[in-house]
Structure 1
Amino acid sequence: MRPARFHQFAIDTLPKAPDVQAVEDGGESGRPYSLHVTFTNGSQVWIGVTGTLAPGDKYDIAEQPVHGDAPSEIPYPPLFDSGSVTPATAQAYLAAATTNTGNTEILAAEPYNDDDVQNPGFGVTFHNGAKIWCLFTHTARAGQARGSRAYDLQGSF
C-alpha cells in the first residue's frame, strides 16, 4: 500500500478503534501525507506518513495490491495513564488499531521500540513488501493547538 492510499485508509478506519474519536488530514505543510488523531479524552497526536514501495514497484505504474491473511486481532493496550496519553501508549494503541482493521494487505503493524522515546510512532508492513512509517511529529492536550516545533513532543498529553 502506497502512502497516499494508506493516508485515506487510516482516516477511514482508525476512528473505529474504541478510544479514537477522529482522524483527519494533518494539514502539515511540507508533508504530503500527515494525520491528526484525536483520542476520546481530547488528546491529540499529529503523524507524518512516509513509506517505501514494494520491491520492483515504481510510482509511474499502477499499484498492484497483494492480499494475504489479515493479521490476527490483538487486544488494545491501555491508552490512558492517569487520564493522559503518552507517546509510548499512543504508538502501541495505534499499531493495535491498524492491526485490528482486518485489512488483508497488512502483514503486520508494530509500535516503534518503547525505549526510543525520541522518535515514537509505528510501522506497517504489507504482504507485497511495501512499508509505511508513521512518525509522531506533534502532540497536544485537549483544547491545545499543535505546537510550532516538530518533534518536540509532550511527555504526556
Structure 2
Amino acid sequence: MSLQEVQDLCIEILAKGPDIAEADSWSNSTRPSGLVITYSSGARLWTALTTAGAIASDRARTDPAPAAPPVPALYDSAGKISPRRAELHLAAALMGGHTPEITSAYAYANPARHPGVGLFLADGSRAFLPFVSTAASGKNPARSPFTIDAAF
C-alpha cells in the first residue's frame, strides 16, 4: 500500500472510532505525512506516518486477521489520556475497523521512549505511527517534536 492509501485508510477507520471526534491528515516541512486525532474530550494527538515495503521474508497474508481486541478505556479517573492508553486505544480501534488491508495493529512496547502504533498490512508491508505531539483540550502542542505529555 502507498503512504497515501495507508493515511486515507487510517483516517477513515479512526474517524469512526470510539471516543474519537475527528481524524485528519497533518504534515509539516519535516514530516510529509501524519495524522491529527481529536478526541471527544478535545485533547489532540499528532502522529507521523511512515511505511516500509515488504522484505523477502515477509509474505502477503492470506490467513484471516485475528479478532479485534476490545477497545480499552481511553481516559483515566481524572479524564486524561496517557500515551500508553492512546497507543492501546488506537491499535484496538484500527483492528476494530475490520478492514482486510490491516492484518495486525500493535502498540509500541511499554515503556516506549517514543510511543506509537505499528501496522502489519496484507501485502506484507508495514506502517508506523510514532507520536509526535500531544495537547490537552484548549492547549497548544509543544514546540519541540516528540514532546509527549504524560497526560493530555
Note if contact 1:68-1:104 (Cα within 8 Å) is conserved in structure 2: no
AA matched with 2:79: G
Of 137, 143, 146, 2:138 maps to: 143
TM-score (ref. length: structure 1) = 0.87
Deviation at 1:68, TM superposition (A): 5.4
Q: Cα offset for 1:120?
A: 0.2
| 1:111 maps onto 2:114 in alignment | no
Distance 2:151 2:50 in 1: 25
Which residue number corresponds to residue 89 of structure 2? 93
Tell me, in whole angstroms, the C-alpha distance in 1 between the residues paired with 2:62 and 2:138. Answer: 40
Equivalent runs, 1:51-130 vs 2, <5 Å: 51-55=51-55, 69-81=64-76, 82-116=78-112, 118-130=113-125
Contact 1:66 1:105 in 2 (8 A): no
| Aligned equivalent of 1:21 | 21
CA contact (8 A) 2:104 2:121 kept: yes
Partner deviation per Cα, 1:60-85 (whole Å, 9 max, x = no partner)? xxxxx976534312210111012000
Contact 1:71 1:102 in 2 (8 A): no
Q: Within 1, Cα distance between the matches of 2:103 and 2:87?
A: 18
Runs of 4+ with deviation above 6 angstroms: none
Q: What secondary structure does 2:109 align onto?
A: coil
Q: What TM-score results when the alignment is normalised by the length of structure 2?
A: 0.90
Contiguous gaps of at least 5 residues in structure 1: 57-64
User: Aligned to 2:15, what secondary structure does the other structure show?
Assistant: helix
2:106 maps to a residue whose letter is E
Going from structure 1 to structure 2, the CA distance change for 1:67 and 1:142 (only over 3 Å counts) comes to farther
Alpha-carbon displacement from aligned partner over 1:70-115 (angstroms, at most 9, x marks no partner): 4312210111012000100001100001111111122110000121
Deviations 1:106-135 (A, max 9, x none): 21100001211x210010001221000100
2:11–2:25 CA contact under 8 A, matched in 1:
yes
Unaligned runs of 5+ in 2: none
| Mapped partners of 1:68, 1:138: distance in 2 | 35
CA distance in 2, matches of 1:13, 1:132: 15
Kept in 2, the 8 Å contact 1:24–1:36? The answer is: yes
Q: Deviations over 1:25-64 (max 9, x none)?
A: 12332212111001111111100001101236xxxxxxxx
